[in-house]
Amino acid sequence: MNRKPLAIVGSGMFCGVGLTAASACAAIRCGIDNVQETRFMDSGGEWIMGSSVPLEQPWRGRKKLVEMIVPAIREALSNINSEDARKIPLFLCVAVKERAGRFEGIDDLFLKEVQNTSNIQFHEKSAVIANDGVGAVEAINRALELISQKTAQYCLIAGVDTLLVSGTLASYEGKERLLTSNNSNGFIPGEAGAAILVGPAHSSGLQTVIKGIGFGKEKATIESEEPLRADGLVQAYKEALSSAGLSMGDLDYRITDANGEQYKFKEGDLAVTRLLREHKGEFDIWHPAECIGEVGAAMVPGLLVVVEAAARKGYARGVNVVCHFGNDSGERAAMILTQTKG
């Protein structure tokens, strides 16, 4: 099958530093964060720091997730009329089933709740994808197939998550993954909803195009004791670069899900060292988690919202960007995006 490149044609974001894509991206560009004391305490008796979304009411459970993702979905679809929106498959990316503190009913009730609240009954190919930080990349792969088959003209990839849940925080603190008064090598928990609308790339006009996608599997996960060589990320990079027809030297900057844990920065640097064959005076790396916190399944669409805004607003560090992501089980994904002017 001839799979044509996809372009990002709509975006929406709802996070701790902004309730729209424009406001969130502006805050991230300026390095503004919303990190403050949460209502949770660590084992040392100190308040856990986090990045929370300012909601109208103190919703909990699936209702909270619905209220975070529906505004992002509506924003991403702002240029699509309600009748056409019903023809669009929605891939709703959420936390893995094994996540401690994960809300019940996500797999079988959540999609319907999102549709009811948004007043949009999406295409029958819509689905929930529960795979944390790589789920949205899998969703984009599905979108490529559906659009190439002309089953759909557009696809909506949305991710929503919150780590500000007592069971989730306790689990990560027990694994020494959380930033606390007793652990400096950890992440700041956050929550967010983000969405991107993708469609066929056109031959004219300014657009951000997804040129290549790659996947890999890392044996030396963050919780293992095996020596890290970044084999999984290298594999994902190679696949993405091959499908994009580019080399590492062609890339202008990176944007990643690095969240403050040393492991992720080390893994990214190892992958670049193993693949870059020429000198680059600068190879900037962006990691928006420093502003919005670790937002799990919302990270991939959130980062793509940032990439698209940077290209459209003219502050990207070049036309070719590589995005890479991973989850705790060792799955890795990379994407190459290119800004085209037609």
The domain boundary, picked from 183, 200, 217, lies at: 200
* H-assigned helices in 77-182: 82-85, 106-118, 135-148, 166-174
pLDDT of residue 237: 98
Residues forming a β-bridge with 323: 255, 335
Instruction: For the chain, state the CA radius of gyration.
Output: 19
Query: Cα(147)–Cα(28) distance, rounded to whole angstroms?
Result: 31
Residues 163 and 101 in one domain: yes
Q: Under a CB-based contact definition with an 8 Å cutoff, are residues 79 and 88 in contact?
A: no
Query: Cα(157)–Cα(136) distance, rounded to whole angstroms?
Result: 7
pLDDT of residue 94: 98
pLDDT of residue 202: 86
Domain hosting 111: range is: 6-200
The predicted-structure confidence for 165-195, as pLDDT tens digits, reads as follows 999 999 999 999 999 999 999 999 999 999 9
The domain boundary, picked from 200, 217, 242, lies at: 200
pLDDT of residue 342: 60
Task: Encode burial over 100-118: b for 16+ CB neighbours within 10 A, e otherwise.
Answer: ebbbeebeeebbebbbeeb
pTM of the model: 0.96
Residues forming a β-bridge with 195: 12, 158
Residues 110 and 237 in one domain: no
Residues 146 and 19 in one domain: yes
The predicted-structure confidence for 188-231, as pLDDT tens digits, reads as follows 999 999 999 999 998 778 899 999 999 999 999 999 989 999 99
Residues of the chain with pLDDT under 70: 1-2, 342
pLDDT of residue 80: 95
pLDDT of residue 2: 63
- Residue 41 tokens read as 């305490």
pLDDT of residue 136: 98
Residues 167 and 234 in one domain: no
Residues 225 and 196 in one domain: no
Q: Under a CB-based contact definition with an 8 Å cutoff, are residues 301 and 158 in contact?
A: yes
Task: Encode burial over 269-307: b for 16+ CB neighbours within 10 A, e otherwise.
Answer: ebbbebbeeeeeeebeebbbbbbbbbbbbbbbbbbbbbb
Count of structural domains, the chain: 2
Comparing CA positions, the residue from 243, 268, 244 lying closest to residue 256 is 268
Q: Under a CB-based contact definition with an 8 Å cutoff, are residues 45 and 342 in contact?
A: no
